Chain A
């Protein structure tokens, strides 16, 4: 799993779900706060599809946090203003950056993958309903 995959799942997770994963890490690791959670803006850059040039669409409210997990840095930036969730995401990131902890890291990754599957299942009903609104054209006279 890439960092992008992991963070996409954590971004869509609830505060409780992210905090729960981080809680297990906090039991076994020493956590130090490097940059306490704070709000920030993320300017969204978009590529328009006509001339394929770049422009700024607008800003997204986000929160950022940086921690040390057993002396290794972890960082997170998530849309929204949930400080507990972004702190949990930074702890998870720091833990996944630790060297020589593959076995424990694999367990965390499995938890995140499970969460990802759960999120996909939650979207399935809406996606099914959207697909039902696909147009079947009948052209008159054919």
Chain B
């Protein structure tokens, strides 16, 4: 049975859109810059899942759709499709990022040290009722005398895995310059190239990717990694200079989170233990979302293992995590299915009559 178009409901739809406006109205209007500054992690999530980096437009999308993540991602993806893509960046060097936070769960002493930076990891999860009334702007602007005394230069650190590579515990591979696959312009086929996997993960719904990683760690998979390094910071994006491809120009910085995870090979016997090797999983995403970046590294490592669990099934993992596709497909169930449902009812009735 093919889909049959139905018409009607024009006035009702117009009124529904007016109601949206009414529901969005508030006594205290919130500005786009206010959303950007106060809801940074949410803005980062939207940019990451939309695969579109613009803090202002992500905040605008959130304002427009009452804070709905999937609607905001939809708006950004739709807008992005109206723009030409005139440039491709040179490979971003995240090793040179201007660091805000950098930790390792694998080594205590790492060159450059462990910099906790801004994190909720050590905060008490207690509602702070003082925020109901207080004016935070004042607090944020108070000069930090101790910080002023510290070295104020930008923080750059070498990678933790460089240590392991120096000891030959981790294979140091040569650069692979194969042009990346682009999932936004080509249909994904399986087995997918590594570039398609990573691009898909970077755009994935954080919840889905977290679920895949969690399942893998709990036993429905084979990966329980050690986070060799997690770093967040600003990376420069450069493109070839439009008037001379030999030169490069910087278009600005983007905030990213990167994770390198170490996964020892599976061992059950002493003989296998003696031959244990280390491999890696990789995560890189727009903005600050550490769990998503860690989950990405686990999902990446998981697809390198063989098995029959969902997290090891490439097609399952790569085709069910896109925020827009999943919410679109689920959302379509709200649209009229009168004809197809009537057909199913008829069949049930026929069966009953028999």
Residue of A nearest to B86 (CB): A40
Please give the residue numbers on chain A whose beta carbons come within 8 Å of chain B beta carbons, in ascending order.
2-4, 7-8, 11-12, 39-62, 64, 66, 73, 75-81, 97, 120-121, 123-135, 137, 139
* Contact A58–B52 (Cβ < 8 Å): yes
Q: Which of A2, A66, A124: most chain B CB closer than 10 A? A: A124
Give the docked Cα–Cα distance between A135 and B115 (Å). 6
30 A/B residue pairs, CB under 8 Å, sorted by A: A41-B87, A45-B91, A49-B258, A50-B280, A51-B173, A52-B176, A54-B178, A55-B181, A55-B194, A55-B202, A57-B199, A58-B52, A58-B199, A58-B202, A60-B52, A66-B242, A73-B243, A75-B241, A79-B252, A81-B54, A125-B144, A125-B152, A129-B147, A129-B150, A130-B99, A130-B101, A132-B146, A132-B150, A135-B114, A135-B116
Size bracket of the B interface: 35 or more
* Contact B147–A40 (Cβ < 8 Å): no
* Contact B250–A49 (Cβ < 8 Å): no
The one of B80, B88, B252, B254 in contact with A78, judged by C-beta atoms closer than 8 angstroms, is B252
Give the docked Cα–Cα distance between A46 and B151 (Å). 30
Contacts of A42 in B (CB 8 A): 85-89, 237, 239, 251
Give the docked Cα–Cα distance between A113 and B248 (Å). 18
Q: Answer whether A12 and B241 are a contact pair too, CB < 8 Å, given A49-B95, A128-B150.
A: no
Smallest CB–CB gap between A83 and chain B, Å? Answer: 14
- Total number of residue pairs linking A and B with CB closer than 8 Å: 247
Smallest CB–CB gap between A4 and chain B, Å? Answer: 5
Majority secondary structure, B binding face: mixed
Give the docked Cα–Cα distance between A75 and B152 (Å). 33
Contacts of A121 in B (CB 8 A): 152
Smallest CB–CB gap between B105 and chain A, Å? Answer: 12
Contacts of B50 in A (CB 8 A): 58
Smallest CB–CB gap between B79 and chain A, Å? Answer: 9
Query: Does B247 interact with chain A (Cβ within 8 Å)?
Result: yes
